[in-house]
Amino acid sequence: MNTDRIIRAKLTDSLVLGHKIVLVYGARQTGKTTLCNSILENLPGSILKINADEIRYTELLSSRDFSKMKLLLEGYDVLFIDEAQRIPDIGINLKIIYENMPGLKMLITGSSSFELGNLVQEPLTGRTSTFKLMPFSLQEIRQNTSIFDIQQRLEEFMLYGLYPEITHYNSASEKERYLTELSSSYLYKDVLELSNIRSSSKISNLLKLLAFQIGMEVSLNEIGQSLNMSQETVNSYIDLLEKSFIVFRLSGFSRNLRKEVGKRDKIYFWDLGVRNCLIQNFAPLSTRSDVGEMWENLIVTERLKYLSNNQLFAHSYFWRTYTGAEIDYVEERNGELFAYEIKYSKVRKNAPHTWIENYGNNFKCITKDNFWEFVM
């Protein structure tokens, strides 16, 4: 399936018409290199492509010596560096290039935001345009098919996720094999390489616990006790997993009403195929007890992809009170609050009274019969 990425047009415009360094973040295997190469194929001028794994380039681009870098870069119109987080001091070196070669366009990818972000954030403040590339979104899948077809394939997406390569496999066994390899070979690589964690088992065990708790409020203290870790260590590991685009947190919404719960987060997976691989469960939805949680994970994730891909700005939360009233997803846009209940089948018609009394009645229930209005 030839699926175009929604960020392509804005990324291309930023590279061609803008005057900033273009950064593309995203998890491994989401298609960053493929997307960038397809954009570069259509650009005029001379292009230098660098893979940061090559030592000859790594040493030169971390030298802080413009006279050396100029020997490599002179005569080129575009510089493309793939997996730039592997180059020491890449931020300060990109700043040197940017200031001394203002006509050179630069396109930089990184598979983890925490290392590349730390390396470029301070040196390149105000000098970058940043894009995130996630696994395929349903909005992107929609380009090649109908909403009816997507409805028919919801179980497939909920079981095997939306990593680009998954779409090339037809059988369940091929998809499961790919996800197993992805999870074992790539999932932890950035976290282990770019942090001081020596054993992947700690990360693996933490991810398995989180995988069983999607859609639920997570107690870092309880997880820490289960894994024999401190709460601070659990929090720091989850932070690394967020910055490697494996999971993300949703915080509780609160305007400091005494009855609102706002201290714990919910944690979701950017890809349900990875989540199901971690718990080794690809059983059909008809036999599962976690369908509601999987549906909530899918819809929240697809909504966040939609906002990111289309460069729309909103704050996202969940909401719950100590008395048990709750809303799965709350969005704050332009100072207005919008509440969404996410149900796989049954429809909830009204928001909880406590929510309506305090925040109004901008409420909608998202089901498999109307989800496309919310995520496409």
Distance from C-alpha of 359 to C-alpha of 105, rounded to nearest angstrom: 47
Residue 3 counted as domain residue:
no
Per-residue model confidence as pLDDT tens digits over 119-153: 666 777 788 899 999 999 999 999 999 999 999 99
Amino acid 113: pLDDT: 62
Amino acid 186: pLDDT: 72
CATH number at residue 113: 3.40.50.300
Q: Where are the beta strands (DSSP E) in the chain?
A: 21-25, 47-51, 78-82, 105-110, 128-132, 217-218, 247-252, 265-269, 315-320, 326-333, 336-342, 363-366
Which among 98, 132, 166 is the end of a domain?
A: 132
Residue 28 structural domain? 8-132
Distance from C-alpha of 20 to C-alpha of 180, rounded to nearest angstrom: 38
Residue 2 counted as domain residue:
no
pLDDT in tens, the chain (376 residues): 578 999 999 999 999 999 999 999 988 899 999 999 999 999 999 999 999 888 889 889 999 999 999 999 999 999 999 988 888 888 899 999 999 999 999 999 987 665 565 666 677 778 889 999 999 999 999 999 999 999 999 999 999 999 999 999 999 999 999 999 998 877 777 677 666 676 678 888 999 999 999 999 999 999 999 999 999 999 989 988 998 889 999 999 988 777 877 778 999 999 999 999 999 999 999 999 999 999 999 999 999 999 999 999 999 999 999 888 999 999 999 999 999 999 998 887 889 999 999 999 999 999 999 999 999 9
Percent with pLDDT over 90 in the chain = 74
CATH number at residue 262: 1.10.10.10
Number of domains within the chain = 2
Q: Distance between the two ends of the chain, CA-based, in angstroms?
A: 19
Amino acid 115: pLDDT: 56
Residue 132 contacts by C-beta under 8 Å, 6 or more apart in sequence?
Answer: 7, 24, 25, 26, 245, 308
The reply to whether 87 and 186 lie within a common domain is no
Residue 293 counted as domain residue:
yes
The reply to whether 311 and 329 lie within a common domain is yes
Distance from C-alpha of 231 to C-alpha of 224, rounded to nearest angstrom: 5
Residue reference for tokens 């309880």: 222
Amino acid 222: pLDDT: 95
Amino acid 118: pLDDT: 62
- Residue 85 near residue 114 (C-beta atoms within 8 A): no
Residue 1 counted as domain residue:
no
Amino acid 121: pLDDT: 65
Per-residue model confidence as pLDDT tens digits over 298-329: 999 999 999 999 999 999 999 999 888 999 99
Distance from C-alpha of 285 to C-alpha of 269, rounded to nearest angstrom: 18
